[in-house]
Structure 1
C-alpha cells in the first residue's frame, strides 16, 4: 500500500472525494476556497489505478493546557470511495498520520468521530462532552444586570472576543488556540454579543442565531457571574421573538442553577476524541501540579504507535522511556487511550481505577493522582 502526501494538483480530486463521502456540494467559488485551505494541511492519500481512493487531512492547530500552548494535529475528512473500503486503507492512513504528526512535533491529536469504537482501535479516546439545553419561552427570565450588551452584526469580529475567549480557555484543558482566520470562518454563521461590566471591561460573550422562532446559542462564555446574568438577560429579551432557545455549554457552566426552572430538556453527549501522539515528549513538557518525589513508572500499551509502547519513568528530573524489567512490581499499567483521557483531564485516576481501566498498587496510583492538575475539559469547536 503506497501512501503519499497530496500536492496541489490533487486538491480538487480530494475535495470531490469529501463531497461524495460526506454528501454535500460545493459551488465553484466554495471549491476554490476549500482548495486554498488545503495549502496549510498535510493530506495523505492512497491511489488505486491512478485515481484517489482514500485520504485524510492533518490540520495544524494548538490547544491550551495548564497555561501552555500544545501543538495538535487535527484529523479530518477521513474518507474512501465505497469500492475501496475494507482494504485496510484507513488503518494505513491513521498509522502514517501518527508518524507524520510525531515528526512535526504535534504532541496531541484530535478528531470528531463517526464511530467512537472505530477510532478507539487507533488510540483515540473521548476527551470532551457537550451539554445541550432546550429552553422554552415560558422558562426565560431577565435578571437584573448593571453591565451592558454590545451586539455586533452577523459575521463581525471584535478584538474583545479574542480577549474573553483566551481568558475563558485558561480555565479548561484542551480548548483550541483560535487564530484570526479561524474566527473569520467561525463567525460566518453566528452573531456575536459582548457583555461589558459597568467600568467597560469585556467579561463575556455569546454567539447566536435567531431563525424561525428559535434562538441557537453556539457559545456561552461568561468570565464572571455578572456577565452570566447579563448574557442570560440578553437571551431572555428575545422572549417576544422565539418559542425556544437551544444553548450549548460546558458541563461545568452553572447557568441552569440561576434559571427559574432548571428542569429543562438537557442532553449530554461525548463530542471530540483525542490521543497523545508522543508520550515521552508530551509528559516531558506537562505542567505537573507537584514534584515527583518518588519515581513513578507507567507501562503504556500502544500497538499503533510503537514509540509509545513501553515503560516511562517519571522522576523529579523529567521523563524517560526505560528498558522493561520483567520483575518490576511497582508499575502502573494503562493503554494510550486511558493515558490520553487521564492527562487531558477527562477522567481521574480514581475514575479509571473504578472501571479497571488502570492497574497499579494503591500507593502508586495515589501519587500519580496527586501530581495531575484538576481541570475540566471543554471543546466548543469543530473541524
Structure 2
C-alpha cells in the first residue's frame, strides 16, 4: 500500500471514490470539487496502483478566547467497501495528524472509530422539545450569509467555534432550510432545528416562536444560550458535536460543514 498526497491527476479518481462510497448527489459533488478541491491537502491510499481510500483535510480556522488559529477539517473520508477493515483509513488519519503542526478537526460519521484513532469530542449541543410551546406570529428575515456569520461568531465567542467562509455558508444554506429573525437563525432538518443561535432574549423568543409556528419539534442549541433559557424546566439531552486531535479545542463548537 502506498500513502501519498494527491495530485491534480487524481481528480477524477477522487470524485469517483466519493460518488460511489457516499452515493452523493451529483450537483453537490460538482459543487464541492469545483470549490474545495485542494490536492495538496488530500491524503490517498493506493493498492497495486489503484486509489482505494482518501480523505480531504480542508484548510480551516477556529476562534477561541478572542483569537483565530489554523486547523484542518476532514471531510470525504472514504474507502471502497472491499478494502475496509484493513487499517487503511487509520493510516491516512495518522499521516494527516503528523503532516501539520495544528489541530485536525472533523464531524464524525462513526464516532467510536475516530475515538480509537485519537480524536475526542470537543463540545455538545443541548436538545430541547418544543412540544406545547405556544408561538406568536413572527415575520422572518431574509437569509444573508454575512448576517449568519455575524450571529454565529458572536453566539460562539465564549467557548469558540470552527469558523466558516462564504462557501461554507453557501453549502449549509443549500443543504438545510434556513430561517432567520433579527439576530437569530436556525437550520432545519426533518422537523428539527439542528443549529439554533440567537444573540439576546428577544431574538431567542422570536426565533422559537417562528419555529413553533413551523411545527418544529426539537431545538438544538448551546446549553448556556439565550434559547436554552426559554426552557428552564426541561432537562436537556446532550448531542455530541465535532471532534479534534487537540485538547486545546475543548469546548470549541464544531459542526458538519464543507
Aligned residue number for residue 254 of structure 2: 379
Structure 1 residue 33: Cα displacement: 2.2
Q: Give the gaps of 5 or more residues in structure 2.
A: none
Question: Are 2:198 and 2:227, in contact at CA under 8 Å, matched by a contact in 1?
Answer: no
How does the TM-score come out when normalised to structure 1? 0.59
Alignment RMSD (CA, Å): 2.7
Question: 1:70, 1:108 within 8 Å by CA — same for their partners in 2?
Answer: no
Change (3 A) 1:114 1:30: closer
Aligned residues: 256
Aligned counterpart for 1:40 among listed residues 38, 41, 49: 38
Question: Does 1:53 find its partner at 2:52?
Answer: yes
Q: CA deviation at 1:182?
A: 1.3
Residues 25 and 119 (structure 1 numbering): CA distance in 2 closer, same or farther, change over 3 Å?
Answer: closer
For the residues of structure 1 that align with 2:136 and 2:255, how far apart are their CA atoms?
Answer: 25
Structure 1 residue matching 2:20: 3-state secondary structure = helix
1:124 aligned residue (111, 115, 119)? 119
2:219 corresponds to:
247
Residues in 1 aligned to 2:205 and 2:32: alpha-carbon distance in whole angstroms: 39
Question: Superposition pairs for residues 300-339 of structure 1, below 5 Å?
Answer: none
Given that 1:61 and 1:177 are in contact with CA atoms closer than 8 Å, whether structure 2 keeps it comes out as: yes
Q: Secondary structure at the match of 2:217?
A: strand
1:44–1:55 CA contact under 8 A, matched in 2: yes
In structure 2, C-alpha distance between the alignment counterparts of 1:65 and 1:379, rounded to whole Å: 12
User: Within 1, Cα distance between the matches of 2:208 and 2:149?
Assistant: 20
Matches within 5 A, 1:270-349: 270-276=240-246, 340=247, 343-346=248-251
Q: In structure 2, what is the equivalent of residue 194 of structure 1?
A: 181
Structure 1 residues 3 and 38: CA distance shift in structure 2, 3 A: farther
Q: 1:56 to 1:6 in 2, by over 3 A?
A: same
Distance 1:133 1:90 in 2: 35
| Structure 1 residue 254: Cα displacement | 5.0
Counterparts of 1:344 and 1:163 in 2: how far apart (Å)? 21
Deviation at 1:231, TM superposition (A): 2.2
Alignment partner, residue 89 of structure 1: 88
Determine whether 1:170 maps to 2:157. Answer: yes
Query: Which of 174, 199, 203 is residue 227 of structure 1 equivalent to?
Result: 203
What is the distance in 1 between the residues matched to 2:94 and 2:75?
14
In the alignment, is the contact (CA less than 8 A) between 2:118 and 2:245 conserved in 1?
yes
Q: Which residue of 2 aligns with 1:358?
A: none
Render the CA deviation track for 1:190-233: whole Å, top value 9, x for unaligned: 233132xxxxxxxx2112448xxx74323322222222223233
User: Any idea what SS the aligned residue of 2:219 has?
Assistant: strand
- Contact (CA 8 Å) 2:19, 2:29: kept in 1 or not? no
Assess if the C-alpha contact under 8 Å between 1:74 and 1:109 holds in 2.
Answer: yes
Cα deviation for residue 34 of structure 1 reads 2.9
